[in-house]
Amino acid sequence: MNETEARQQSLLRDAAEWRLLGMLLECPTNDWPAQTSALAQEVEDTALQSAVASAQEEAGEGLYHSIFGPGGPAPPREVSYRDWTQPGYLLAELSEYYRAFGWQPALAEAPDHIAVEASFVGYLRLKEAYALSCANQEQAEITAQAAQQFITDHLQTLTEPLAKSLEHSGVQYLALTSASLLRRVGPRPAGAKINDLPVLNESEETAFVCGEL
């Protein structure tokens, strides 16, 4: 295996892990348990595999919305962690980012939702791997740079405070998932606003249905 082929394989593994991160931060509906279990077999990250195993026992719509829903203690959207950006501007910027790379989110969430942003990085990893398979080094470099810039400009804003909120939540799969994401993203820029709120494990709450606004 030459260097390019090795890079492609690494990107494909990375893409699978980013996609799994996104899925674990989605609302667990329909065949979500089966999908996450199947994808867990394609990754090497043991923390993510443990998160999936825990999710099979813990995950549910009521629990998800008690944490991430309106008024919940762990907002999943980037706009919640910014004290200067107009929401409309941020959403337009993200939508343009996605459009520029030909990506249409399958998840019915806002463009700045943590699950959407993580899944987009997974898509960029796949796109970079494809460019390498076509011997298009320039496109591969552009895509790699875009992924890193996206992580810096967007995911670093919300991942660390979200991980801190989920760390002691009592919901193991979300704590493991957010910690794994933080290892990839890195810490929030110094001086940025951080909203630390405790997460209450209210698994009995079932008032919200995934997909409703």
> Tens digits of per-residue pLDDT, 184-199?
999 987 765 444 333 3
Q: What are phi and psi of 44, to 5 degrees?
A: -110, -10
> Token pair of 9, please?
């394989």
Give this prediction's pTM: 0.86
Q: What is the pLDDT of residues 129-164, one digit of tens each?
A: 999 999 999 999 999 999 999 999 999 999 999 999
For position 189, what pLDDT does the model report? 77
Domains of the chain plus CATH, in order, are 3-185 (1.10.3480)
What span, in angstroms and rounded, lies between the C-alpha atoms of 51 and 153?
Answer: 26
Q: What is the mean pLDDT of residues 53-70?
A: 93
Give the separation between CA 68 and CA 115, rounded to whole angstroms: 11
Radius of gyration for the alpha carbons in the chain, expressed in angstroms and rounded: 17
78, 112 Cβ separation under 8 angstroms: yes
Average pLDDT over residues 63-83: 89
pLDDT of 141 reads 95
Determine the average pLDDT of the residues in 5-34: 94
The answer for residues whose C-beta is within 8 angstroms of residue 152's C-beta and 6 or more apart is: none
pLDDT of residue 168: 84
